[in-house]
Amino acid sequence: MIIFKRIKDLQNHLKPLIKNGKQLGFVPTMGALHQGHLSLIKRSKAARNLTICSIFVNPTQFNDKTDFDKYPVTIDKDIEMLHDGGCDILFLPTVKEMYPHGFGNAKAINFGFLAQTLEGEHRPGHFDGMAQIVEKLLKATTPHKLYMGQKDYQQQLIVQQLIKKRRLKTKLITVDTMREKDGLAMSSRNVRLDKEARKLAVELSKALRWVKSEKSKGKGEIQKIQEKARQKLEKKKEITLEYFEIRNAETLEPPTGKKEKLVALVAAKIGGVRLIDNMRLN
Ligand code: AMP
């Protein structure tokens, strides 16, 4: 695996490969890698792409400074995992490389409701920062395919819009969420959960699964199922629920009651760690 820290060096390396017809697959990450991240690398490898992973903890997408300061950094282990996973290239830029003119002079795209609801409401500015860095990374790496996780459901919907609005030449592939044996969605933040919080964290995926099963049995109205799921989580006083919502799977608007694809999404703080998860319901 070759490691590049500068955009110029990366592009000089990629140019002849692209010219020779190599297909590039790109997996952007913030590091502290786990099997979920590796599943994206594997998907890219399986499609015979020359696979590029980036690790960059992007300051502009953290609305909470403590969250940024506490974000786990395990770079040596990450490099080992990527190497063992067969990743071809690691792009490891500095903040200066990605933001040579400082923060805040980018023209933000207006994603409308899609970026204002759920995570957008609870993490103001998060999606502007995310879209800003994803665009920069896509321009630096010029991939044919971009691999992202369903774990960050709203993020992948917004990136799809970003690609469309900026007319970027890449195809987004969304990969299913990898889970621990008990159902907890794998996340870099899970290492910050203490024993008690780790035990409780499973309640999020349990609530999502319960909603899916109620829905598939055709049991009652969506609104009522949603309310019951909220109550189940709110009963546990160590869980601070931010939202539990059933929404249209494409627009994230509340359900209309007509036939449509739905997704249930949850965000909660457990033991001081903010976790998100989601599940498609049909
Ligand atoms: P992050 O490092 O958290 O920014 O995540 C980098 C990429 O990995 C994003 O596209 C995430 O959606 C994806 N990802 C994170 N957790 C998982 C998981 N448990 N399963 C699959 N993909 C994931």
Between CA 7 and CA 12 the distance in angstroms is 9
Which residues 6+ apart lie within 8 Å of 37 measured at CB? 27, 29, 53, 81
Tokens linked to 274: 């903010």
Task: Give me the phi and psi of 129, to 5 degrees please.
Answer: -65, -40
Of 29, 162, 184, 189, the one to substitute when testing ligand 1's pocket (max ligand atoms within 8 A of C-beta) is 29
Other beta carbons within 10 angstroms of residue 124's beta carbon come to 11
Whole-Å CA distances, 194 to 152, 197, 231, 243: 23, 5, 24, 22
Instruction: Return the residue whose CA atom lies nearest to atom 11 of ligand 1.
Output: 149
CA 229 to chain CA centroid, nearest Å = 23
Between CA 137 and CA 159 the distance in angstroms is 12
Of 78, 145, 146, 151, the one to substitute when testing ligand 1's pocket (max ligand atoms within 8 A of C-beta) is 151
The active-site residue out of 34, 37, 101, 126 is 37
Find, among 54, 25, 57, 59, the residue nearest to 42 by Cα: 25
pLDDT digits 0-9 by tens, 108-156:
899 999 999 999 999 999 999 999 999 999 999 999 999 999 999 999 9
Instruction: Return the residue whose CA atom lies nearest to atom 12 of ligand 1.
Output: 149
Between CA 174 and CA 157 the distance in angstroms is 9
What order of strands is seen across the sheet that includes strand 273-280?
Answer: 239-248, 262-270, 273-280
Q: Which atom of ligand 1 is nearest to the CA of 177?
A: 20
Q: How far is the CA of 22 from the centre of ligand 1 (A)?
A: 25
pLDDT digits 0-9 by tens, 77-103:
999 999 999 999 999 999 999 999 999
Whole-Å CA distances, 188 to 24, 82, 234: 25, 15, 24
Is position 37 annotated as part of the catalytic site? Answer: yes
User: Residue 54, CB half-sphere, CA atoms under 13 Å: how many?
Assistant: 27
Find, among 75, 72, 55, the residue nearest to 188 by Cα: 72
Q: How far is the CA of 36 from the centre of ligand 1 (A)?
A: 6
- What rounded mean pLDDT belongs to the chain? 96
* Counts of helices then strands in the chain (DSSP H, E): 11, 9
Q: Which atom of ligand 1 is nearest to the CA of 147?
A: 10
Binding site membership of 38 for ligand 1 (Cβ less than 6 Å): no
- 8 Å CB contact between 78 and 52: no
Between CA 67 and CA 72 the distance in angstroms is 10
Of 26, 33, 37, 38, the one to substitute when testing ligand 1's pocket (max ligand atoms within 8 A of C-beta) is 37
Between CA 129 and CA 142 the distance in angstroms is 20
Find, among 132, 142, 133, the residue nearest to 168 by Cα: 142
- 8 Å CB contact between 62 and 215: no
Predicted confidence pLDDT, tens digits, the chain (282 residues): 999 999 999 999 999 999 999 999 999 999 999 999 999 999 999 999 999 999 999 999 998 999 999 999 999 999 999 999 999 999 999 999 999 999 976 788 999 999 999 999 999 999 999 999 999 999 999 999 999 999 999 999 999 999 999 999 999 999 999 999 999 999 999 999 999 999 999 999 999 999 999 999 886 799 999 999 999 999 999 999 999 999 999 999 999 988 999 999 999 999 999 999 999 999
- Residue 191: predicted pLDDT: 96
Binding site membership of 58 for ligand 1 (Cβ less than 6 Å): no
